Amino acid sequence: MKQQTALFLALLAAGCRTEPDLRNELLWGPPIRRLVILSRLGRDPEKAKSYLGELKICLFGPDPVVGLRAGQVLARTGEEGIEILRAALKEKDPEVRWRAAASFLSDQVSVGKAKKELLAALSDEDPTTRQFAVLALFRARVPEARKKIEALLLDADSGVRKTAERVLKQWKIEPAQSSKSSGGAVPGALPSKN
């Protein structure tokens, strides 16, 4: 198995695979091969645009690691990929929804284009989806998310509460530091405990 993987990587690096072979490997190959192809596509968003159908299938597929990596590649491909992720945030399957929310962690620019869906995901029935939505919105510093994240401090799920607490602590530190240097309060900053 290791020899086959090493041979595949060597062929892939040498560019010896044809396009149909790569498409088949991406859809039907063993997970390690699929991840190698996804990694390669992640480095070349323009080329990844020609694989949007396959990336969507991977996102919705049974393997969570492959699905998450496909989502990360989609987040970098521009409008078409982001549109697929926005639709995935509304899917019935919670596994697909959390993968889509987590995919936005890899590209902060894409969060702005899916802000509405990610804000809605803060109220998702699935706690994992809520956690990843919190992290994506925090990482992109979406101001509208702050109050909604504060409300998650009372969430029924302890993981969501802890994620919201950690995020809000980090969000609080940055404005507090800049307010000390500027001498004034920062709009939206949480009050300090002094």
The interaxial angle of helices 94-103 and 64-75, nearest 10 deg, is: 40
CB-side neighbour CA atoms (13 Å) of 102: 19
In this predicted structure, the answer to whether residue 161 has a pLDDT above a threshold of 70 is: yes
Sign of CA dihedral 121, 123, 129, 133: positive
Res 179 pLDDT > 60:
no
- What distances in angstroms separate CA 160 from CA 128, 142, 149, 166, 180, one per listed residue? 8, 18, 9, 10, 31
Rg, Å, the chain Cα set: 20
| pTM beyond cutoff 0.85 | no
Half-sphere exposure of 110 (CA within 13 A, CB side): 26
DSSP 117: H
Name the residue ranges covered by the structural domains of the chain: 13-180
Instruction: List, for residues 99-132, the tens digit of each pLDDT value.
Output: 999 999 988 788 888 999 999 999 999 999 999 9
pLDDT of amino acid 186? 39
Specify the CATH architecture of the domain 13-180: Alpha Horseshoe (1.25)
